[in-house]
Structure 1
Amino acid sequence: MYPSRVNTDRSTPGSQTSLREANRLRLVDAVKRFGGLTQVELAAATGLSTATVSTIVKELIAAGVVETHTTSRSGRRAQKVTIARRVGLVAGVQVGHRHLQVTLADFSRTVVAEQQMPLPAEHRLDTGLDRVALLIVDLLERVGAQTDELLAVGLALPAPVDSATGMISVRGVLRGWDDTHIGQVLSKRLATPVFVENDANLGALAEHDFGAARGARDSIFVRASYGTGAGLVLGDHLHRGYAGTAGEIGHVQITPDGPICRCGNRGCLETVVGATALLEMLRTSHGPLTLRDVIAQAIEGDPGCRRVVADAGARIGAAVATLATGINPQCVVVGGELAETGEVLVGPLREAVLRHVVPNTLAPLEVVVGELGTRAEVMGAVALALRSTDVASDGSAVQGFAP
């Protein structure tokens, strides 16, 4: 999916030389943004003529900035232009409540290596970031890359994040990680820029860029996992709110006299549909279970596990409906571990959303399962690192701006 025209001209009108440089930058930016396009697509995306695109592509290939790969579009063979591997790599990292996932990718969005590892409950900041740094270095060695080839890291955390500082913006949500400039700490370990973001936001970014929300300017991504949150893409850009707490539906009050939440408030949605609450509901009938056990048994047809997952979907859907009524998105994409149960979760969630939003007969709201599954957040971290790194027309990379 690509627009008819992308204005990425970062120069002012002037000499023929500056115009040519502006066109080179425009083309490089388009290739970086979409991960790879044919020359016909590049002409459409940049507004340049096909002859100009052909000339510039040849120059950039000679300079080692881009490279071409044979692809098939509409049944015809074509050459896809991508940023050259020599430009460098980025890493996407997801630190979950109980697992760590690291992915290395190049500027064509091709994953070159990835690895997962479990984490203990209430894992500490210092050891968690040490594990992240070690895994990234290990993956770089595995693909034969030097550490200076790593140009940026995107880091997804299960907490609201102030992107300007890289700090968690709500105390107590990720215990032991408060009051720390997390991006700065990890950046010192790796000697490369680190961009920190909430995991639901990055799930939203990934599904928008290359998942179920492709082509939708406004979308909501719902992450139903150990905790619950939502990420918003409005006008093709992440909407974080003033200090990173936009979309925190897990902390919407559901029961005024309910249990105390991690955030300090009482009766939040997360206290009803979070992993702790779901497992406690099943303790008497099923004994001690993990969230993975509940998901597996729900998929296999266990009535009790299916009941608690379905009820969670209905509760989440009611909260999402309020959010959707306020912003009127084109689609709601459901992800996170619980979404692996498919319609067991998504069916009741969809029904609750559509029952509570204002019915729109011209453009009805779609509620769909995410295409990227549990990889959405880490691929969003990759997308964040790519978006935050500019590639110059000589192939050098510089820190840009987060989306």
Structure 2
Amino acid sequence: MNIGRGATQQSSAPYNRRLVLDFIRQHGAASRKDIQEKVSLSPQTVANITNELESIGLIVSRRQKDLKTRGQPPIAFEINPDAGQSIGISLEPGRASGALVNLVGRIDARFEVQLQGCDRPQLLAGLLELVANLRRQANARVWGIGVALPGPLGDTELSFVGPTALEGWKDLSILDQLQEATGLPLFHSVDSVAGALGETLYGVARHLDNFFYLHLSMGLGGSLIVGRNHYRGADGNATEIGHVPVVPGGTPCYCGNQGCLERYLSLHSLAEALGMDDGQIRTSDLLDRLDDANDQPLQQWCQQAAQRLRDAICMIENLLDPQTIVIGGSAPQKLVRRLVELAQPLHRSVRGRPAPQLPRVMISQREEDCSLLGAAVLPIHELLSPRLQGVQKDDPGDTQAAELLGHRPANGGRRI
């Protein structure tokens, strides 16, 4: 795992503070000596930063135990789980799930509302109800709201098209209204990016620098993580893998192409195969049916979906050469495991080797919370992830956490 190195310019103070926070988070606990050696900051700089972060409650200090050293054992710093919470919202067709999450990824409260149609007042009322419910249960500072929603976003031919996206939406101005009505900073992202960030901070990829995240939900998306940050592409829609045609002349896709990967590997395609509405797939006896070898519609879907997954894994590995591929999303973990099992043996690729350090495919341990946690990560990610390119030019003068870390509200809801 690569550790970021500190910067020396005065204007990089927020970056250095985030760097120290990220190092402490990754290691669970770290002494000042550990930080100095790994992050390459001077002892005085590390002392100043840890004093600042502790004074505002983002970290706590404890004496290390069971160390065979003379004198007082060194002090180790840890992220303070009670330093704040964020509200994560996962938007999918027909519903919005919400969670109140603390700085170490613990879900403290949940709430869900049903969203029908595209009527703006009704949609906004539902989202406001969700935020108000979670906010009443907060017991610490609420850093902001993170919203994860199906992509791609922006003015593209594929945006808001089809049943796996927010069909009928024209833009994301409703998020501007949500930010204005709540008074909280709001960040939004494609659900696959949010899920990848969640895995980076709290999941199976927390010690990885480079990996590909495959988001299996109603649709299918992906996110490439490089240097612990996601690769955006020209307009923020990179690795929209669900709409890559993989079967020539195959099933028509709502995007206008034929044989797109998402038409074979997604919860929507599973619902179609089982003759269900998308909403029913969440409440059916799907997990029990997986064990029924005589359930031909489900078993046939699993076989063909696993074949498409095998092809997708090979394509991702040969194109991008990630350390591993992490599969997450709202698809039940039991279903994902079945598909990965059926996809064996994997195709030969550049990641195939006699003694790999990591498995070629890893499955998120957050199960269906992956998207929800990923959404809540968005405001927290601004605190805990160093990004030198985003450093503010003015060094903050007070001790407010958001300003210390270069974290400022963005007009209109910032996209990550």
Structures share fold, TM-score greater than 0.5: yes
Partner of 2:208: 216
Aligned-residue offset at 1:264: 2.9
State the one-letter code of the partner of 1:373: E
Pairs within 5 Å for 1:192-271: 192-271=184-263
Partner of 1:141: 136
SS across alignment from 1:139: helix
Select the structure that is richer in strand: 1
Q: C-alpha distance in 2, partners of 1:224/1:314?
A: 15
Partner of 1:15: none
State the one-letter code of the partner of 1:317: R
Change (3 A) 1:3 1:276: closer
Partner of 2:98: 102
**Cα pair 1:155 1:381 within 8 Å, conserved:** yes
Change (3 A) 1:298 1:313: farther
| 1:311 pairs with 2:304 | yes
Change (3 A) 1:42 1:314: same
Structure 1: which 5+ runs fail to align?
13-20
State the one-letter code of the partner of 2:79: T
Partner of 2:316: 323
Q: C-alpha distance in 2, partners of 1:397/1:110?
A: 19
Q: C-alpha distance in 1, partners of 2:267/2:106?
A: 30
State the one-letter code of the partner of 2:235: A
Q: C-alpha distance in 2, partners of 1:335/1:291?
A: 16
State the one-letter code of the partner of 2:365: E
Cα RMSD over matched residues?
3.8
Change (3 A) 1:390 1:255: closer
2:79 to 60, 77, 82: 82
**Cα pair 2:101 2:376 within 8 Å, conserved:** yes
**Cα pair 1:231 1:247 within 8 Å, conserved:** yes
Pairs within 5 Å for 1:109-120: 109-111=104-106, 113-117=108-112, 119=114
Aligned-residue offset at 1:330: 0.8
**Cα pair 1:252 1:319 within 8 Å, conserved:** no
Change (3 A) 1:192 1:361: same
Highest relative contact order (Cα 8 Å, sep 6+), 1 or 2? 2
What per-residue deviation string (whole Å, max 9, x for no partner) do you get for residues 19-39 of structure 1? xx94x9734652267546332
Change (3 A) 1:53 1:396: closer
**Cα pair 2:192 2:215 within 8 Å, conserved:** yes
Change (3 A) 1:58 1:328: closer
| 1:290 pairs with 2:289 | no
**Cα pair 1:153 1:382 within 8 Å, conserved:** yes
Aligned-residue offset at 1:390: 8.3
Select the structure that is richer in helix: 1
| 1:385 pairs with 2:390 | no
Q: C-alpha distance in 2, partners of 1:367/1:101?
A: 27
State the one-letter code of the partner of 1:179: D
Identity of aligned residues (%): 22
Q: C-alpha distance in 2, partners of 1:355/1:74?
A: 48
Pairs within 5 Å for 1:37-52: 37-40=29-32, 41-48=34-41
| 1:30 pairs with 2:20 | yes
Q: C-alpha distance in 2, partners of 1:121/1:74?
A: 57
Aligned-residue offset at 1:301: 3.7
Q: C-alpha distance in 1, partners of 2:238/2:43?
A: 42
What per-residue deviation string (whole Å, max 9, x for no partner) do you get for residues 154-175 of structure 1? 110022124xx9x996242321
Q: C-alpha distance in 2, partners of 1:312/1:71?
A: 52
Partner of 2:391: none
Partner of 1:170: 159
| 1:153 pairs with 2:149 | no
